[in-house]
């Protein structure tokens, strides 16, 4: 599968588990994944993705919740993207 096909196939399963704000963030992450590849899904990239989307980590926390919640969403959606495997 191409990255775009993988993202589209997983999107309905992923989005069913998320609220609107989380879906918006994961949609942003998926667009970066399609553009740049699996490296965008690295846990090390999470702070950069949050800053790119929300301008600051504090703003991201206001929208998405605490750091643990954000990290959990970021990791959990990858299980759907890769059928249980995390990048």
Query: How does pLDDT run across 45-84, given as a tens digit for each residue?
Result: 999 999 999 999 999 999 999 999 999 999 999 988 887 5
pLDDT recorded at residue 85: 52
Q: Tell me how crowded residue 76 is: count the other CB atoms within 10 A of its CB.
A: 15
Residue 86 has pLDDT above 80, yes or no: no
Mean pLDDT computed over 16-27? 94
For the entire predicted model, the pTM comes to: 0.88
6: tokens are 């993988």
User: Which letter, b or e, does each residue of 33-61 get, where b requires 16 or more Cβ atoms within 10 Å of its Cβ?
Assistant: bbeeeeebbeeebbeebbeebbeeeeebe
Mean pLDDT computed over 36-44? 94
The gap from C-alpha 60 to its chain's centroid, in whole angstroms, comes to 13
Give the residue extent of every domain in the chain: 3-81
């Amino acid at each position: 599968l191409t990255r775009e096909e993988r993202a589209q196939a997983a999107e309905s399963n992923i989005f069913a588990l998320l609220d609107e704000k989380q879906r918006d963030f994961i949609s942003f992450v998926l667009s970066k994944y399609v553009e740049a590849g699996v490296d965008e899904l690295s846990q090390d990239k999470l702070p950069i993705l949050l800053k790119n989307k929300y301008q600051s980590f504090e703003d991201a926390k206001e929208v998405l919740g605490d750091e643990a919640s954000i990290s959990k969403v970021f990791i959990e959606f990858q299980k759907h993207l890769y059928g249980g495997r995390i990048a």
